[in-house]
Amino acid sequence: MLILIFSLPLTCYFIFPTFKNKIHYLKYDLSFVQKNIYLPDQVMETRLASIKAGWELLNQSPFIGVGFGDIKQETDKFYEANFSQMSTNDKILPSSEWMIYGSGTGWLGVILFLFVMLIPFSCKKQLKKNIFWISLNIFIAFSYLFDIGLEVQYGVFIHAFMLLWWYKWLQLKE
């Protein structure tokens, strides 16, 4: 199963031209962010620049963070220093739940968020071995690398509903 999961994207890269083009375009976008060159109205560049801003804020205040109330202000300062040509509409909070907690509270927040993401893995013995339960939780934790789903009420609902529904469904199945 693990071999299939890891070989599927590689296989898609060689079979589907659109997937291959998407990977190349992502690398192209990433090259601009690495060089601190910003092209306006590029969604992926904006997202990657925001994650870079979150990482920078985390490294500036690794022990206490900048505080959740000051993330927007500090992120805007980062944009002005590194991406001065960025428009006001493109200046967003770090597009990573991990970076939101990291920039807000430092490494302590990242570690606490990690523990929260690990809680579903400490469930009953039969769920610890269930590949669907494990996959769901890995997928959710990974998705928060590039999404801030827990910062909005709808995202909190989806996260809680999915976990609780799958938990109940897998319990009834056994």
In tens, the pLDDT along 45-87 reads: 788 888 889 999 999 999 999 999 999 999 999 988 888 778 7
The sign one gets for the Cα dihedral 79, 93, 9, 25 is: negative
Determine the structural domain holding residue 61 and report its residue range. 40-173
Q: How many domains does the chain have?
A: 2
**12 with 92, same domain?**
no
Percentage of the chain modeled with pLDDT above 70: 93
Q: What is the pTM of this model?
A: 0.73
Around Cβ 101, how many Cβ atoms within 10 Å? 26
**23 with 85, same domain?**
no
Looking up tokens 């601009």 gives 32
